[in-house]
Chain A
Amino acid sequence: MARKKRMLVGGVLILLVFAGFLVSVVDQGVGALQYYHTLEDFDQARRDGKVEVKKGLRLNGLVAPGTIQKDLERMQIRFDLTDGTRTIPVVLTRLDVSDLFKDNANVVIEGRLGADGVFVAENLMTKCPTKYEAAEGSPAGSAK
């Protein structure tokens, strides 16, 4: 019985270490992005001071028509993210975007909001248009 007890104590200790590890990673916001499905929610959260600086941001919106500018020199793409009423200027720090990235495309951007109000995005994902379903189980989508 004593052995069983010892093993139980050991197991619980290991469990605690693992839980601590997990919690600390989550708490530090490693790989965690605050996700706003609409610019309206994002605006509201900014006013309420809910936006955590240590976490990255993930925003969903539409590409404002006619605002896409490729900057080949600096390898950037500039465009405005909009929901029709609100607009946020975005700098995407890469040129490789999905082929579905065009005016009015429904996109998710990931990155940080600069002090100047420009959103610096490291990733951009276009949502598959509903008429196309990827087959299930497939890791489809240009994730990076």
Chain B
Amino acid sequence: MNAQLGYYLLWFALILSVYAGVAAISGSVTRDSRYHDSAIRAVYATFLVLVGAAGILVYAFLADDFSIEYVADHSSRVLPRFYAATGLWAGMEGSLTLWSLILAGLTAFAVYRNRVRARELIPWVIVTLSVVQVFFLLLQIFVAGPFERVSGLLPTDGRGMNPQLQNPGMAFHPPTLYIGYVGCAVPFAFGMAALVTNRLDDLWLRLTRRLTLLAWLFLSIGIMLGAWWAYVELGWGGYWAWDPVENASLLPWLTATAFLHSAMVQERRNMFKIWNMLLVFLTFFLSILGTFLTRSGFVQSVHSFAASSIGWYFIGFMVLILVAFLVLFLGRLPGLRSAGQIEAVLSKEASFVYNNWLLIAVLVVMLVGTFGEPISRALTGVATTFRGPYFNTLNIPLGILILVLTGICPAIAWRRATPANLKRNFVIPLVISTAFTAAVVITGYALGEVDLVASPAHRYAVLTFWSGAFVAVVVGIEFHKGARARRRSKGGSYPGALLSLFRLNSRRYGGYLVHLGVVCMFVGFAGNAFNSESQHVMKPGETVEAGRYSLTYAGKRDISRSTFAGIELNLRVSRGDRNLGTYGLQRRFYYREDQTTTEVAIRSTLLEDLYLILISLEEDGTAIIKARVNPLVSWVWLGSGLLVLGTLVALGTTPAERRGRA
């Protein structure tokens, strides 16, 4: 009954979306505002209808309605209700519904916000987003139906949810990433509208700046949540493995990052108009590609889904948007030519160009690595898969260059940097960061932790520390200068002046905070160069050494519950004479899902993580464990937090905007 209603609602949403697109075109062609207004109302209605459809699916999960196949496949009676509610995005069909819902919500939001100030663009924004919406709705209605009924006997219980997905990080990772992916469609739609209406100035950029930043923020949070989840839940000891599905999420992030930066140049200097249009298209295209990659089984991922026909629909859709964009774009090319041009290779504009090039270079590396397998199979008959070392070899140097630019860009002059400008802004950061790096290297050698001659990884790590310190000092000086100037003009305390910067120029100083977050993350990434790992076979009472830590087999206990059988190994951890407490390493067997999981124990400090994994516990009580020492991992999470905070600041309004609104 409910399933039927949900299915009808999807149809209803489809009709509304088609209508919105048609009405929008009619309104634009006939200049009849009744069509225009009707299209807007249809956009709002689509959202409400999809809220209903998604609501029915969530309700079906909460009510254990196993007559719906999707619910039966992803939930069970004993599943905690919180996770049952997240069943909406536990599999493909529901994920598509979530996609549609988010798209409808963002469309309604963007249309509502801009209906007056960008009246001209709105019809074509609606058309573009409706086409996307129609595609996803068609998939749900004809290919992968979330409301499909179970055929045959009604199951008394569902098959359960993958226990590894039953984690708070995992609960929020997919929807966050989705908001990011879907969010990329909105600036693209405004770009398309600008092309159609020939409004090729920076109006569309200014209107979508916040939405783009918001999409970027959600993409970032989604990626970081996924990494964090992998680290604490999957138990292999790291957070990133260059898996195709991980790469898929990074692809649009790279172009979105490039876009956010080059859009600033267009606003300020009216340059890069062609490039920005391309980037906004690429970002959207890659977000669809990302969804396709995770869904089609086209590229073999570790947890690749069964290859399904849905891939061909995605390919068809991608070809459609590619052609539509290219036709419009090439037609408007003359109008997009920029008036301004770069005056010097050492200038802020140029540094933005380098930043974009580098991000695109990383994108190329990622594309080759991710699609290398199907491409090589097609070309040579033998498939070549690219794994970690390929990505690291190429991306680490590119990443360090990007990091260095992060430090140069804020302090270099627009148009042309004079030697005096360079000297004034960069000598102090260079001296401090070099001294800092020297101190780190000397300390590292003294402790026997760093070996620049033998290890290329160590060399890169040290370069990263140096670049990171450089950026941090540059940004620090920028804050100091801002605060000092503020105090001179307005008085007050220094911390107060510092804080007021975020209010007065939220974009600039929020951006700096993001850069500081990126520095912290890079420091964390560099920590990987010093990882160490050891495996141990331990009898009860035995003590083994892992790095500077001593691990003692203190005991084991049964932790079984109604849903799983579990065992916990207790390890007493100490370093030198210091007792660091007892840690529980678990293995659980979930009955319903017929699956074993590992619960790792992590002792986390700013300097390093001790990461303990129970590999197995034999009949006689012998334990096999893996101990990893992962230096600086905390900095990745710390940096992510800073990045989020900085982006939130940058999303805020500036005083000029506040005045404009009043």
Asked, given contacts A22-B364, A140-B234, whether A99 binds B597 with beta carbons under 8 Å apart, the answer is yes
Q: Pick the contact of B177 from A14, A30, A137 — CB < 8 Å?
A: A137
Q: From A11, which residue of chain B is reached at the shortest CB distance? A: B357
A25: which B residues are within 8 A, CB to CB? Answer: 390, 393-394
Q: Quick check: is A116 within 8 A (CB to CB) of the other chain? A: no
Is B595 a contact partner of A99 (Cβ separation < 8 A)? yes
Q: Which residues of A contact B387 (CB under 8 A)?
A: 31-33, 110
Please, how many angstroms separate the alpha-carbon atoms of A3 and B290 in the complex? 39
Cβ proximity bits B622-651 to A, threshold 8 Å, 1 near / 0 not: 101010000000000000000000000000
Residue of B305, B382, B388, B393 with most partner-chain A CB within 10 A = B382
Q: Contacts A22-B394, A50-B382, A137-B294 known; A95 to B615 CB distance under 8 Å?
A: yes
- Which residues of A90-112 have CB atoms within 8 Å of chain B's CB atoms? 94-97, 99-100, 108, 110
Q: Quick check: which of B6-14, B37-45, B273-281, B295-303 contacts chain A, the rest being far away?
A: B295-303
- Residue B159 at the A interface, CB < 8 A? yes
Task: Of the listed stretches B119-127, B162-170, B264-272, name the one at the interface; the rest are far from the partner chain.
Answer: B162-170
Instruction: Confirm or deny: A120 has a beta carbon within 8 angstroms of a beta carbon on chain B.
Output: no
The residues in B between 435 and 450 inclusive whose CB is less than 8 angstroms from any CB of A are none
A127 engages B304 (CB within 8 Å):
yes
Complex Cα distance, B373 from A35, in Å, reads 8
| Interface pick from B221-229, B323-331, B498-506, B518-526 | B221-229
How many residues on the B side are at the interface (Cβ–Cβ under 8 A)?
82
CB contacts (< 8 Å) of A100 on chain B: these are 595-596
Q: Which of A110-141 contact B (CB under 8 A)?
A: 110, 125, 127-128, 130-141
Chain B contacts with A in 68-126, Cβ cutoff 8 A: 73, 89-92, 95
Cβ of B249 < 8 Å from any Cβ of A? yes
Residues of B within 8 A of A7 (CB): 342, 345
Residue of chain A at shortest CB distance from B350: A7
Q: List B contacts of A108 (CB < 8 A).
A: 302
Please pick, from A110, A139, A142, the residue contacting B226 in the complex, using a CB distance under 8 A: A139
- The listed residue (A10, A50, A97, A135) touching B91 by CB distance below 8 A is A135
Question: At the interface, yes or no: A5 with Cβ under 8 Å from chain B?
Answer: no
- Of B159, B241, B246, the contact of A131 (CB 8 Å cutoff): B159
Please indicate the chain B residues that have their CB under 8 angstroms from the CB of A94 in the complex.
535
Contact of A134 among B162, B248, B593 (CB under 8 A): B162
Taking CB atoms, residues of chain A closer than 8 Å to B386 are 31-33
B247 nearest in chain A by CB position: A139
- A47 contacts partner chain B, Cβ-Cβ < 8 Å: no
Q: A136-B295, A144-B238 are known contacts. Are A72 and B245 too (CB-CB below 8 A)?
A: no
A94 to B227, CA, bound (A): 24
- Nearest B residue to A144, CB-CB: B236
Cβ-based interface call for B485 (8 A) = no
Beta-carbon contact of A55 and B384 below 8 Å: yes
Say how far A100's CB is from chain B's closest CB, in angstroms.
7
A residues near B243, Cβ cutoff 8 Å? 139, 141, 143
B92 touches which one: A11, A96, A136 (CB < 8 A)?
A136
Residues of B near A95 (CB, < 8 A) are: 535, 615-616, 624, 626
Provide the residues of chain A in CB contact with B306, threshold 8 Å: 130
B139: interface (CB < 8 Å): no
**Is A45 engaged at the interface, CB distance under 8 Å to the other chain?**
yes
Chain B residues positioned under 8 Å from A10 (CB to CB) = 345
A128, B390: Cβ atoms under 8 Å? no
User: Which residues of A sit under 8 angstroms from B237, Cβ to Cβ?
Assistant: 144
Q: How far is the CB of A102 from chain B (nearest CB, A)?
A: 10
Interface: B385 (CB within 8 A): yes
Whether the pair B303, A128 counts as a contact (CB closer than 8 A) is yes
* Nearest CB in chain A: distance from B598 CB, A: 7
Cα distance A10–B387 in the bound complex, in angstroms: 32
Chain A residues with Cβ under 8 A from B174's Cβ?
135-138
Q: Are A35 and B95 in contact (CB under 8 A)?
A: no
Residues on the B chain within 8 Å of A67, using CB: none
CA distance A5 to B361 in the complex (A): 22
Would you call B576 an interface residue if the criterion is a C-beta within 8 Å of the partner chain's C-beta atoms?
A: no
| Interface of chain A residues 1 through 38 with chain B (CB within 8 A) | 3-4, 7, 10-11, 14, 18, 21-22, 25-26, 30-37
Q: Is A140 a contact of B302 with CB atoms below 8 Å?
A: yes
Contact with A along B228-254 (1 / 0, CB 8 A): 011000111110110101101100000
A58 in the interface (beta carbon within 8 A): yes
B537 within 8 A of A: yes
Is A139 within 8 A of B227, CB to CB?
yes
Q: Is A138 a contact of B615 with CB atoms below 8 Å?
A: no
Q: Verify A136–B241 contact, CB threshold 8 A.
A: no
Residue B365 at the chain A interface, CB threshold 8 Å: yes
Interface presence of B551 (CB below 8 A): no
Select which of B302, B345, B381 is within 8 A of A142 by beta carbon. Answer: B302
A-B contact pairs, 23 of them (CB 8 A): A30-B393, A31-B388, A35-B373, A36-B382, A55-B384, A58-B385, A72-B624, A95-B624, A99-B597, A133-B90, A135-B90, A136-B89, A137-B178, A137-B290, A139-B241, A139-B245, A140-B230, A140-B245, A140-B302, A141-B303, A142-B236, A142-B302, A143-B236
**Chain A interfacial positions (CB closer than 8 Å to B):** 3-4, 7, 10-11, 14, 18, 21-22, 25-26, 30-37, 45, 50, 55, 58, 70, 72-73, 75, 94-97, 99-100, 108, 110, 125, 127-128, 130-144
Q: Which 8 pairs, one residue from A and one from B, show the smallest C-beta to C-beta distance?
A: A31-B390, A141-B302, A31-B389, A99-B596, A143-B241, A136-B294, A141-B303, A139-B246
Footprint of A on B, CB under 8 Å? 73, 89-92, 95, 159, 162, 164-165, 170, 173-174, 177-178, 222, 226-227, 229-230, 234-238, 240-241, 243, 245-246, 248-249, 290-291, 294-295, 300-306, 341-343, 345, 357, 361, 364-365, 368, 372-373, 381-394, 535, 537, 587, 593, 595-598, 613, 615-616, 622, 624, 626
Given contacts A135-B95, A139-B226, A144-B241, 16 further A-B contacts (CB under 8 A): A3-B343, A26-B368, A26-B390, A33-B384, A35-B300, A100-B596, A133-B91, A134-B305, A135-B170, A135-B173, A136-B89, A137-B173, A138-B174, A139-B245, A139-B246, A144-B237
